[in-house]
Amino acid sequence: MATPIKFEELLKVDGVLGAVRWRESIPQSGAISPPKMLEYIGNITEDRAYRLMGNAEAAGLGIFGISQLSYQRAPEDKTVVYPLDAYYAHSMNASVVSTINRVAVLLDNKAGTDIQDLISKMILVDNK
């Protein structure tokens, strides 16, 4: 297992404007529950952090569900999209990268960030 990194390390990645990390409000219940913010960092407001978290959680649940269905349909097929680590949503000026361990960043598109490198750092944030 890789060594966890501090959440604040994400701000050292070129292009990261801000980041948020959160948990489910009812841990391991198997039910969808509102997300509970743990902290946010960077050049974003608290309101923007809450919206980033909420949007990332909702999209993440949908994407994770789709990947689960794909895996259950044919677990022997090694080309299915499961397990997945993260997803990337591109927008005109800024994009969102979110990982299944409930960490999301707002990314400045002008920076030309290496998304795979960013995700490899994000999945190492200990979010317990």
Mean pLDDT of 45-51: 96
> Quick one: pLDDT at residue 72?
74
- At residue 17, what are phi and psi to the nearest 5 degrees? -85, -35
Mean pLDDT of 97-120: 95
Cβ atoms of 104 and 19 closer than 8 Å:
yes
> Quick one: pLDDT at residue 64?
77
Mean pLDDT of 6-14: 96
The two structure tokens encoding residue 31: 């039910």
> Quick one: pLDDT at residue 80?
66
For the chain, domains (ranges, CATH) are 7-122 (3.30.450.30)
> Quick one: pLDDT at residue 97?
97
Q: Which amino acid is at 11?
A: L
